[in-house]
Amino acid sequence: MTSKKTENLSRRELLAAGVAAAGAVSAASAMAQQAEGQPMPGGANLPGLESEKMRWAIVGLGSFGVNQVIPGFADAQQSRMTAFVSGNPAKAQDLGARYGVSRFYNYQNFDDMARDEEIDCVYIVLPVGLHAEYTIRALRAGKHVLCEKPMASTAAEAQAMVDAAREANRQLGVAYRVHFEPNNRDAQRRIVAGELGTIRHISADHGFSANPEFPPHKWRLERLLGGGGSMYDIGIYGLNTSLMMLPGDRVTSVSAAYSTPAGDNRFNEVEGAIEYRLRMASGISVQGSSSYCYSPYVSRQRYFGSTGSIEMQPATTYDNNVIQLEAGGAPRTFRSGDPMSQFAAQLDGFSRAARSNTPHLTPGEMGLRDMQLMEAMYRSADAGGSVVEVDIAV
């Protein structure tokens, strides 16, 4: 316990004060002291040696891979990049020079990774329509796989991916980065701890205005590559993050309706917007909307309890998530950590799971669950909003 006299001293001054105090100890006592080694503190989060870090191949060097995934390795403690897979050799070589990566593959010699002992984990950062193929091939090559969300184009593909991981005895994770984002983790902690009382309702709204002239948006509007429309790309954040807050619950029914603007030529192949509702076994509902027609960018989660509420807006972005809490006392807005840390935390979380060959925090089974729920949404919307009965564990 510090005194009023010392509580404002700098660390350097405190150390000096400690040395002076030590001088008051008798010479006999001082000579009797022996230095002893102490064990490593429990739970220490220390960087791994380079030789001990799990080695990653990044598959797909598009905008998300280059601007978010690859920089995430800079702060990772248990993970390092050793290979790039790309159909653009010049881009791969340039990025390799920048990040010290010297192993390169393309989509023709992809399976040769099976003989590469410098690759432990593979991160699939390709368009959705390619997820299943390259995930299954990587698993069969003996690698652990983290696949971007959504997991696949269909639930049947997602099931095949889960089966392939089981057959290969390798870990399969889905890159639901929000589970590693400090502000969402803080909201989850508060909700599960009962700080909002009993949860009564959750709402989620996510969307942006899709630009077909912008390459990262263009493939999202093509069913073959995008798998589906806005729900596959942006709405899935609301679905997955809402269920993150309801451990142990079950979804008992799903209903949905399309809300795509009439005559909008951007949406000839995929839906532009959808509204949905999940009914839970606990009696609460999860309500959400997903759109390629919102402007500006929308990312909002709201959690209503019997004694308090949380609103996050933005909720699931890369770098700007905040919590607005009302739970007794004055409402307050705050951040519980740097959102950018979610990328390194996700990589290291999967590296630990792969090293021990134990399930990841966001495993393939979670991705399969979300695919099943989205397919139920589409069945409902196709039937004019009819309720689709399901029994799916959260």
List, for residues 294-338, the tens digit of each pLDDT value: 999 999 999 999 999 999 999 999 999 999 999 988 999 999 999
Q: Give the model's pLDDT for residue 46.
A: 52
Half-sphere exposure of 307 (CA within 13 A, CB side): 11
Q: Please check whether residue 352 lies inside any domain of the structure.
A: no
Do 157 and 190 belong together in one domain?
A: no
Residue 42 confidence (pLDDT) above 60? no
pTM: 0.87
Residues 137 and 166 in one domain: yes
Domain that holds residue 384: 179-337+364-393
Separation between Cα atoms, residue 220 and residue 128, nearest integer Å: 9
Confidence category of residue 47, pLDDT binned at 50, 70, 90: low
pLDDT of residue 50: 77
Answer yes or no: is 259 within a domain: yes
Are 196 and 330 part of one and the same domain? Answer: yes
The number of angstroms, rounded, from the C-alpha of 216 to the middle of its chain's C-alpha atoms is: 19
Instruction: Give catalytic status of residue 149 as yes or no.
Output: yes
Q: What is the pLDDT of residues 215-238, one digit of tens each?
A: 999 999 999 999 999 999 999 999
Does 153 lie in the same domain as 210? no
> For 368-378, what is the mean pLDDT?
98
Instruction: Give kind and range of the element (H or E) at residue 385.
Output: none
Alpha-carbon gap, residue 359 to 161, rounded angstroms: 15
Residue with tokens 């009962």: 194
Last residue of a domain, one of 127, 151, 178: 178
Within a domain: 7 = no
Q: Do 250 and 385 have their domain in common?
A: yes
**Lookup: tokens for 326:** 């009302």
Tokens matching residue 151: 């997991």
pLDDT of residue 33: 44
State the Cα–Cα distance between residues 375 and 371, nearest whole angstrom: 6
Q: Which residue has the higher pLDDT, 45 or 193?
A: 193
Instruction: Look at the chain and report how many structural domains it folds into.
Output: 2
Mean pLDDT of the 90-112 span: 98
User: What region does 136 belong to: left with phi over 0, alpha with psi -120 to 50, or beta?
Assistant: alpha
| Residue 83 CA from chain centroid, whole number | 22
Domain assignment present for 119: yes
Question: Would residue 386 count as lying in a domain?
Answer: yes
Residues 150, 121: contact at Cβ < 8 Å? no
Which residues are within 8 A (CB) of 100 and not within 5 positions of it... i.e. 6 or more apart? 81
**pLDDT for 87:** 97
Q: Which of 178, 199, 229 is the last residue of a domain?
A: 178
Question: What CATH code is carried by the domain that includes residue 218?
Answer: 3.30.360.10
Residue 235 pLDDT? 98
Query: Of 178, 195, 221, which residue constitutes the final position of a domain?
Result: 178
275 with 192, same domain: the answer is yes
What CA–CA distance (Å, rounded) separates 63 from 67? Answer: 6
* Residues 203 and 227 occupy one common structural domain: yes
3-state class (DSSP) for residue 61: coil
Check whether residue 161 and residue 97 sit in a common domain. yes
What distance lies between CA 75 and its chain's CA centroid?
A: 16
Q: Is residue 359 part of a domain?
A: no
User: Do 382 and 239 share a structural domain?
Assistant: yes
**211: nearest Cα among 128, 127, 292:** 292
Instruction: For 245-263, write each residue's pLDDT tens digit.
Output: 999 999 999 999 999 999 9
In CATH, what number is assigned to the domain containing residue 120?
A: 3.40.50.720
What pLDDT shows up at residue 19?
36
Where would I find the H helices in the chain? 11-22, 27-32, 63-64, 70-72, 89-99, 131-140, 155-168, 182-192, 215-218, 223-226, 230, 236-244, 341-356, 364-382
Q: Is residue 151 assigned to a domain?
A: yes
Mean of per-residue pLDDT scores for the chain: 91
Q: Which of 390, 392, 333, 341 is nearest to 367 (CA)?
A: 392
The one catalytic residue in 176, 237, 258, 294 is 237
Q: Does residue 149 lie in a domain region?
A: yes
- Shared domain check, 187 and 173: no
**Helix (H), strand (E) at residue 273:** strand 273-280
Both 191 and 317 in one domain: the answer is yes
Q: Are residues 153 and 282 in the same domain?
A: no
CB neighbour class for 379 (10 Å; exposed up to 12, middle 13-18, buried from 19)? middle
Dump pLDDT digits (tens) for 129-179: 999 999 999 999 999 999 999 999 999 999 999 999 999 999 999 999 999
Indicate if 237 belongs to the active site: yes
Which entry of 123, 134, 143, 149 is annotated as an active-site residue?
149
The confidence score (pLDDT) of residue 51 equals 76
Mean pLDDT confidence for 286-293: 98
